[in-house]
Amino acid sequence: MRPRRFSNREIALLGLMAALWSVVEITLGGMIKAWRIPFGGAALAACGVAVLLTARASVPREWSSLLIGATTAGIRLASGFGGALFAAIGILAESAIVEAVLSSGPLSSRPRRMAAGGLALLWALAHPFVVQGYLAGLGPAAVFRFTIAPLIGGDHPASARAAAALLALAALHVGLGAATVCFVDRVLLAPGARAGRGPLGRVADSGRRGFPSDRQGI
């Protein structure tokens, strides 16, 4: 069977969500970079998760999360603001993680949504080590020195205290991802669910019917 194309309404919704995410990335991301806020990428990633999960509930189709990410990354890259390329890579990676997790089963599954949020926030922790440590050639040790070392008094990356700090940060990022999912479900989507007309209501109904639309491609 030929995959059903996205409708004009779905494309408009996805475009609106991508535009919203782009504004957050450019404005909030610019402030985080200018003020050098430690682990500010986690806040940006949480905003991205909120956008992706809200959009996926409104357009419960495979590839919708990745399409939003690709559009947002393109806008961020075209903006030309500092670190645009690395920011675009991060956006694409985050949307790919959420897409992969949500497409592996029913969107109505709370554990699956929690996993998507937690893994996306974990990427925010790994992002500087990947893009600055490897792609930019600074090396993981250099990234450690300006991210985690100030929190633990400058210990060596191989020290026990450094490992404990990394594990603690990973747990905090996963917790923030889970909290973001709860915020989306209980605040952004809950009013529509209670009315039986909003995105969360459609998610619950689709889950009972086996979510046929989410298994279809573009």
In-domain check, residue 2: no
CA distances to 59, 61, 88, 131 from 217, rounded to whole Å, are: 12, 7, 24, 31
**Per-residue model confidence (pLDDT) at position 2:** 59
Domain encompassing residue 177: 8-215
Measure the CA angle with vertex 58, ends 68 and 111; round to 5°.
90
Distance CA 181, CA 23 (A): 21
Put simply, whether the predicted model's pTM sits higher than 0.75 gets the answer yes
Assigned domain for 127 exists? yes
Is 62 within the bounds of a domain?
Answer: yes
Q: How many domains is the chain built from?
A: 1
Q: How far is CA 150 from CA 46, 127, 145, 207, 210, in A?
A: 23, 18, 7, 46, 49
In a domain, 132, yes or no: yes
Give the pLDDT confidence of 61-107 residue by residue, as tens digits: 999 999 999 999 999 999 887 788 999 999 999 999 999 999 988 87
CA distance 70 to 121: 18
Q: In whole angstroms, what is the distance from residue 4 CA to residue 197 CA?
A: 23
Domain presence at residue 24: yes
Structure tokens at 46: 């949480």
Is 136 exposed, middle or buried, given 0-12, 13-18 or 19+ CB atoms closer than 10 A?
middle
Q: Does residue 39 fall inside a structural domain?
A: yes
Tens digits of per-residue pLDDT, 105-148?
887 788 999 999 999 999 999 999 999 899 888 898 899 988 88
**Alpha-carbon span 78 to 86, nearest angstrom:** 12
Residue 110 lies in a domain: yes
Mean pLDDT over each residue of the chain, to the nearest integer: 84
1 located within any domain: no
